[in-house]
Amino acid sequence: MRYKLLLLSMSCIISNSANAFDISLLNNTTRADLTPYIAGGPDSSNGFLNVNETRHFTNETLFIRDRVKEGDKVSFSLWDPENQQQIRCGKVRFKGLKQFRVIDNNGTLICQQAQNTAFKALSWNLWTGPGEGTPELKDHIKRVVEDIAAINPDVFLSIETYGKGAAIQEAMAKANHVPVEDIHYYTITCNNPADQSSCQRGKGIDNLAVFSKYEIIDSFIYNGKTVGNFNVGGVKINVENKKTGIKQPVWVIDTWLHYKDDIEKPLDDYYLAKRDGTPLPESPVKTDENYRLPQAKEIIEVIEPLLSNADDTPIILGGDHNTVSHLDFAKKWKKAHYGVVLPFKVSKVFTDAGFKDSYREIHPNPILYPGSSWSPMNRTSDAPQRIDYIYYKGAKLQATDSVMVDSPRAGFSHLTSDHGAMLTSFNLSAFPKKDI
């Protein structure tokens, strides 16, 4: 029997745990008789790779578990029995984010490798700031734009933009040595977001806005029952790999959930009561029920068409949600939280919809990495208060790092912001066009 190798659409996504990898093979041909080979061995347990099938290989996959570990560089290919030949995609290192696919180009099977593009997304509530026309407001804007330029995100989801948009755009342009018009700027919260000339940027109504080094090719606006363009909206950006010129669209959705029925004091009171053994007040989970929970549910309903297409066009959803995460108060962390277990529902709305919480994915232990974003301006909370998020969804997108930037200027003051800044680094994979 001849053992031949051949390679298909492969995506390697590394999880945060040690010695873990996930390689997905996608058959983009009309052939259903192709056999994957890794490190010289066939995937005999699963047989042929079917048309449009995506097959996953991890460090727990039986036929490679004892032969391949994270970091190994091995051959990866696919055997074509019809033509009695192998299609090779070369050596593959089992680490990082990689994708390959096999396409049928003019009757010939060809292997393509996806190109990875690294970029950073920042979500930050900038604070309304001091009063209009005051010297303090000018200093506030100066501090904010200097911080954003220092962080230098590729995409910035701004909340409480309020008059700072033009300065942010100019600062990002200066930091990247490009003309101002090369920093694409879209105001979501205005009278008519579809007509950006109507937005009166900087006139006090521009809550949500997106700034991007990449071209904005589409927009998403909405006004409904519990949320409108003050709470949700977004843009589709065309993320370009500068070396290859390959472009991959990504939806970027900016969100703000209501601050009413504030979570801070109810959570602190409950947390301290558990610590001190005193009678428990009402569960802080209930604070979300009137405003934030209905808003989160409506946002998911509205973006359902985008969610169903996320493997083709990934989604980044960030914002200030004014409530904490169920992941931070799960049962497994009970002992370290004085016995507190709280099933917060807003965050679960997003994770149940398939979103990954980028910060908690990279830092799964909330005791070591609380990521509190409320409030660097006034250190008054006893319980962890992570209320700012960057979620994402889509097979082509993988978080590689995530930090809560508590003090960009090594010390917030009453003139900077009352929120920490959420910064996540991503790898985005994209294929060349079909004809090669």
DSSP string, 267-327: HHHHHHHHHHTPPP-S-GGGGGTTTHHHHHHHHHHHTHHHHTTTTTS-EEEEEE-SS--GG
The two tokens of residue 300 are 């998911």
- CB-CB contact of 318 with 422 (8 Å): yes
Mean pLDDT by 10 residues, the chain (436 residues): 37 40 80 86 83 79 79 86 86 77 83 88 92 85 91 97 92 96 94 76 77 96 94 97 91 97 95 95 97 98 96 96 98 93 97 98 95 82 93 93 76 74 94 64
The DSSP secondary-structure symbol of 49 reads B
pLDDT of 6 reads 36
Which is nearest to 112 in space by CA: 123, 126, 98, 102? 102
Other Cβ atoms within 10 Å of 241 Cβ, number: 18
Residue with tokens 């900038």: 126
Can the peptide bond before residue 158 be classed as cis, meaning omega within 30 degrees of 0? no
| Beta-ladder partners of 120 | 425
| Beta-ladder partners of 424 | 121, 402
User: What is the enclosing helix (H) or strand (E) of 85?
Assistant: strand 85-93
Three-state secondary structure of 62-84 = HHHHCCCCCCCEEEEEEEECCCC
For residue 401, the Cα-to-chain-centroid distance in whole angstroms is 10
pLDDT of 414 reads 61
Strand order in the sheet with 85-93: 41-42, 35-38, 73-80, 85-93
For residue 81, the Cα-to-chain-centroid distance in whole angstroms is 41
Would you say the C-alpha torsion 62, 66, 70, 76 has a positive or negative sign?
negative
> 371-374 long-range CB contacts below 8 Å, 24 or more apart?
371/328, 371/404, 371/420, 372/404, 372/406, 372/420, 373/404, 373/406, 373/419, 373/420, 373/421, 373/422, 374/264, 374/418, 374/419, 374/420
- CB-CB contact of 31 with 109 (8 Å): yes
**Strand, coil or helix: 135:** helix
The two tokens of residue 11 are 């995506």
The two tokens of residue 355 are 């979103």
Q: Considering only the C-alpha atoms of the chain, give the largest distance between any 2 of them, rounded to a whole number of Å.
A: 82
| Beta-ladder partners of 215 | 238
